Amino acid sequence: MIKKTDTSRYDRAYFDHWYRDPQTKVKSSAAIRRKASLALSVAEYYLERPVRTVLDVGCGEGNWLPALRSIRPRIRYTGVDSSPYAIERFGKKRNISLGSFATLEEIGLDEEYDLIVCSDTLFYLPIGELEQGLASLAPRTGGVSFLELYTDQDSVIGDFPKDGLQSSSWHRKLLRSHGFLSVGSHCYLGPKAADRAMELEHA
């Protein structure tokens, strides 16, 4: 049985603390927009057209949606999060469904997305759930997946686990096993788009 992340703590107080309180928040809207701009640019470089569809897994309150729409107003956004609070407050407004990395095959997702986003969430996952989630996301990556993965040598400010992180070599092996190809800055081509990379990127 795959160990799943405890989602009970992701209530309104959690999001207020980490995303709204000026004294403790870890991300500004400007920072999220920079990430969105980067991910869109890399995906569009390889797709050779504007991004049309985005899947955001572990999206929280869907804070990437306004950033994405500020650049691509007609983008079709699908969010997935395990927080009942986030779904109740933003589910209909921002097209967010209740789900987790362990249940992606059960919630009726499309077969393919131009851009998949997993931002500020993957380091919370038990190994089994991470592996299961990547196995589900890989064939759905029509262009690029933005996967913020951190190793036991990285340091990040915020609600960050202090143990249980793996080495860089472990992560590279896991990503390769699912057909993901790194093209820099947390961006990975999925197996359907890997042939668009140059030889140096494959190396």
Rounded-to-integer distance, Cα 52 and Cα 73, Å: 10
* Residue 16 pLDDT > 50: yes
CATH class of 28-202: alpha beta
Q: How high does pLDDT run on average in the chain?
A: 89
- pLDDT beyond 50 at 3: no
Q: Please, which residues bridge with residue 102 across strands?
A: none
Residues 49, 75: Cα–Cα separation, whole Å: 13
| Burial profile 142-155: b = 16 or more Cβ within 10 angstroms, e = fewer | bbbbbbbbbeeeee
The confidence score (pLDDT) of residue 74 equals 97
pTM for the model stands at: 0.88
β-pairing, 181-184 vs 113-118, is unpaired
pLDDT of res. 124: 84
Question: Across 7-11, 12-16, 189-193, which has the greatest mean pLDDT?
Answer: 189-193
Could you report the per-residue pLDDT of 132-156, keeping only the tens digit for each?
999 999 999 999 999 999 988 887 6
Domain residue ranges of the chain, discontinuous segments joined by +? 28-202
pLDDT digits (tens, 9 = 90+) for 18-76: 667 777 676 788 999 999 999 999 999 999 999 999 999 999 999 999 999 999 999 99
